Amino acid sequence: MTISKVVICNMALGHLGSDATVEDIDTPRKDEEKIFNLWYDLSRKDLLRLVKPNFALKRAKWALLTTTPVFGYVYEYQIAHDCLMFQGVDTIDVKLNNYTIEGDKLQISEVYTDGLPVRYVSDVTDVTKFTVDFAKLLGWQLAFDTCMQITQSVEKLQMISSILPGQLSKVAAQSDQENRPVRINYSKFRTARWSKVPIFGEKL
């Protein structure tokens, strides 16, 4: 079965124990379709920020603006419209953290004339980009978000609330396992060996 918004919403209805089905949430007619039209994008964005799945990770260069911060920093760059969660400047090992995000701009004192190299979680709307496990998780998230409107059942909400954290942890762990761990080793002995001869009594 091809993953689609309708399929994901119908999975959510199944989790709610509902016999209803939806056919189109973009031009909704049924009550359930109107509810999913209200919640789908909110639930999707929330889950992308929480899980940070690999298919949503993105590297780009943000444009240097002609405007400048009023104080504190020297330059500012335009944050991309599809940025849901900023993850850092340059590569992970650089660990540059002397910046701030205010509004739709990133302020920093370093200049990158060809664009600021950044990593972030992007707003992926194309359902065909979703992994199967993320699509299934979104079904659970939608079930949680729409439960009271569709079922008016506190018991079902509690049931889904008990299931959702485990599903979330599983998908997040699977996404993490696809990337090798980043380990940066700083050896005081190696640094001393290649940089200078230690002074007598100096701690390595």
**What local confidence, expressed as pLDDT, does residue 180 receive?**
56
Please, how many CA atoms are within 13 Å of residue 185, restricted to the half-sphere of its CB?
A: 4
**What local confidence, expressed as pLDDT, does residue 179 receive?**
64
Q: 48 and 85, same structural domain? A: no
What are residue 99's DSSP bridge partners? 108
Q: 70 and 45, same structural domain? A: no
pLDDT for 121-180, tens place per residue?
999 999 999 999 999 999 999 999 999 999 999 999 999 999 999 999 989 887 777 665
> Do 136 and 2 contact (CB within 8 A), yes or no?
no
Please, how many CA atoms are within 13 Å of residue 70, restricted to the half-sphere of its CB?
A: 1
> Higher pLDDT residue, 4 or 94?
4
Task: Give me the amino acid identity at 184.
Answer: I
Other CB atoms within a 10 A radius of the CB of residue 125 amount to 12
Average pLDDT of the chain, as a whole number: 88
pLDDT greater than 60 at residue 194? no
> Higher pLDDT residue, 194 or 51?
51
- Closest residue by Cα to residue 85 from 136, 129, 124: 124
CA angle at residue 21 from 40 to 53, to 5 degrees? Answer: 35
DSSP string covering 154-176, please?
HHHHHHHHHHHHHHHHHHHHHHH
Q: Which helix (H) or strand (E) holds 137?
A: helix 132-151
Q: 21 and 9, same structural domain? A: yes
Q: 67 and 12, same structural domain? A: no
The number of distinct structural domains making up the chain is 2
Residue 109: φ, ψ to 5°: -100, -5
- Closest residue by Cα to residue 48 from 11, 87, 85: 85
Question: For residues 52 and 43, what is the distance between their CA atoms, to the nearest angstrom?
Answer: 14
**What local confidence, expressed as pLDDT, does residue 202 receive?**
39
DSSP string covering 32-65, please?
HHHHHHHHHHHHHHHHHHHH--GGGEEEEEEPBP
Q: 62 and 47, same structural domain? A: no
Note whether residue 202 is domain-resident: no
Q: Which residue range forms the structural domain that includes residue 80?
A: 57-122
